Homo-oligomer: A and B are copies of this chain.
Amino acid sequence: MQSNLPHLQSIFTADCVIFGFNEGELKVLLIERNEYPFKDWWGLPGFFVEHNETIDDAVKRILLEHTGLKGIYMEQLYTFGDLKRHPQGRIITVAYYAMLRLEAVNINPKPSTNYVRKAQWHPLNNLPELAFDHRNIIEKSIEKIRRKVSHSPIAFELLPEKFTLTQLQQLYEAIWDKKLDKRNFRKKMLKYNVLKELDEKQKGVSYRAAKLYKFDKRKYNKIFKNELNFS
């Protein structure tokens, strides 16, 4: 191969769609922008990728700078490249998504970058108007997790470590936006044999407390080489 080829640059951004689940609702983590374009608007955590970092690294760095979140595993979703999506020219963006335990993480109220004023969870069903094509990116993400949740146990990533079967069911209902049958749901979930029943009950509720369960990752890895079928 010939050397001394011209060195080319590339300028593009990476955006993060971070899902959480709380009080029976799916939430998305948004930031309030402190810079043009779309100054003062809400949008996804996202920024330019540097020349010397992979996209995977960039998206982690950006999430950390914007929200304080660290060590989150994100998956690539899609690359958006409409000509009009960015006012400064055709800037493509590579979008990533992740699902996490909302109550197990701390959002930094004061981001480490001046480009962002603050980060905040917003219910998926009641989003503000968003910068760029971020609304569209979120919609694509939710379609993705709907497909993904059918054959892989990602839903557990959204729940606290110890959860009740009702919480688990509510999560599936929120993702699919439809009601499920309680008995059939439990039968199916328990049959997969990836839940570990704990000797512990819910606390602080004013009705009969439910048993708590844990997702048993070891059992899961043993039993399923490839894919489950939660649907």
Min C-beta distance of A85 to chain B, whole Å: 10
Residues 74 to 120 of chain A near chain B (Cβ within 8 Å): 76, 78-79, 81-83, 87-92, 94
At the interface with chain B, which of A7-15, A153-161, A217-225? A7-15
Known: A1-B39, A78-B76, A94-B79. A88 touches B51 (CB 8 A): no
Beta-carbon contact of A8 and B88 below 8 Å: yes
Q: How far is the CB of A103 from chain B (nearest CB, A)?
A: 32
Chain B residues in 8 Å Cβ range of A8: 11, 88-89, 91
- Kindly report which residue of chain B lies nearest to residue A2, judged by CB atoms: B36
A205, CB-defined interface residue at 8 Å: no
Taking A8-B11, A11-B8 as contacts, is the C-beta distance between A2 and B82 under 8 angstroms?
no
Binding site for B on A (CB under 8 A): 1-3, 5-12, 36-39, 49, 51-56, 76, 78-79, 81-83, 87-92, 94
